[in-house]
Amino acid sequence: MSRYDRYVLSQYLLFFGFFALILVAVFWINRAVSLFDWLIGDGQSVLAFLEISALSLPNLVRMVLPLAAFAATVWVTNRLNSESELTVLRATGSSPWQLARPAMAFGVLSAAMMSALSLFLLPASLAQMQLREAELSRSVSAKLLNAGNFLHPSAGITFFIGSIDPDGTLNNVFLTDQRDPSVEITYTSDRAYLVREDDMAHLILVDGLAQRKEAHNDRLSTTAFADFSYPLGDLSPARTMGARPLRNIPTLDLLRDRDEITQNEGHSAGAQAEELHLRFARAAVTFAVVMIGVSTLLLGGFSRFGIWKQVLVAFVLLILIEGMRGVVSEPVRDNAQMWPLIYLPAAIGVLISMIFLHLATRPQALARLRPRRKQETAT
């Protein structure tokens, strides 16, 4: 790799980091708002908020990495073109294929980063986040047991505990459920106990009273009970483990244990094939969008059109490729044997970029074509 290639590659990497940082920050702020409401609003510490935020970062990076790579490619190539560096290199005999070598190297590096992220880091972080959220959800149920204070763990719920004995007995419990506008239910009991069963916590009310008031006729019905079980998951939205989402399953498991996953997790063969090949295809798409960015602008360097039109063409192609990824997934979910379709958007993107680079090596043909169009328009 020549000194110029290393210089351009360093510029690609520099602006890639810049755009990735901005995009991750934008997406993270949007995610952090709902995350903050759930954790801090339920009494969790800032440390728990930071932990869940860190575990969500690999997924955010996965979403923005192709866009950041594309933006860096277009930005640097456009700057080199505007400063006439590409024109000088072209005049000294460098072909468009040679000018695109730094972008190819950058595309390979970006694809390698996406592979590591998609195949290993992302499933591990999502699985750990699911586990941590379930643990925090259980701890939230315990934090609701705060004696002497009226608590409002969710909209329409009021909860009060008079006191808590050293052995864990809850005294003078009051609970009002107004989530349903048509009916209001109030529970009171002298004693209550917190009981855990699997991943769910229950509040066992003893020697209590349940009052049900219907809004449409103000009818009040009262029922005395010796004991009553109220799931604390209704007080704070619980996040239980259950079956693992496909995104959380390690890549090696998807490669080796498909039948076992279908039996234990309930995921079909088509859904597994889609998820597995999507993880590999993300790297190919990342390489494709980099090549589309550089080839479109190099093709524009030999036209009389403004460079902004080339940028627009590259952006439209990026949108089309991203849109195709959603279209090709549906047939694979229905039939696992159709998995090669997952790689079709990346293949089309690379093919388009190769065609553009090939056309860029023939500026004379393009120059002859445009005046002919103008003459046809004039006549």
Block residue for tokens 């959380």:
248
Cβ neighbors of 31 (< 8 A, separation 6 or more) are 53, 56, 60
Tens digits of residue pLDDT in 287-340:
999 999 999 998 865 444 457 788 888 999 999 998 898 899 999 999 999 999
Domain boundaries, the chain: 3-139+244-378, 149-234
Q: Report angle CA 70, 85, 311 to the nearest 5 degrees.
A: 30
Alpha helices by DSSP H, listed for 83-121, are: 85-91, 96-99, 101-116
356 sits in which H/E element: helix 344-360
Q: How far is CA 362 from CA 197, 201, 291, 301, in A?
A: 73, 71, 18, 12
Question: Is the pLDDT confidence value at 141 over 80?
Answer: no
pLDDT confidence of residue 219: 86
pLDDT confidence of residue 40: 60
Taking residues 30-55, report their average pLDDT. Answer: 75
Q: Report angle CA 235, 237, 243 to the nearest 5 degrees.
A: 135
Question: Is the pLDDT confidence value at 93 over 80?
Answer: yes
Asked if 357 and 297 count as a contact pair (C-beta separation under 8 A), the reply is no
pLDDT confidence of residue 326: 83
Q: How far is CA 310 from CA 104, 298, 347, 348, in A?
A: 19, 9, 21, 18
Question: Is the pLDDT confidence value at 46 over 80?
Answer: no
| 65-79, 246-260, 275-289, 360-374: least confident range | 360-374
Tens digits of residue pLDDT in 129-140:
888 877 776 665
pLDDT confidence of residue 47: 81
Question: Is the pLDDT confidence value at 81 over 80?
Answer: yes
Asked if 163 and 146 count as a contact pair (C-beta separation under 8 A), the reply is no
Q: How far is CA 108 from CA 67, 101, 104, 111, in A?
A: 15, 11, 6, 5
Tens digits of residue pLDDT in 97-113:
999 999 999 999 999 99
| 144-153, 211-220, 306-315, 324-333: least confident range | 144-153
pLDDT confidence of residue 238: 46
Q: How many CA atoms lie within 13 A of 234 on its CB side?
A: 15
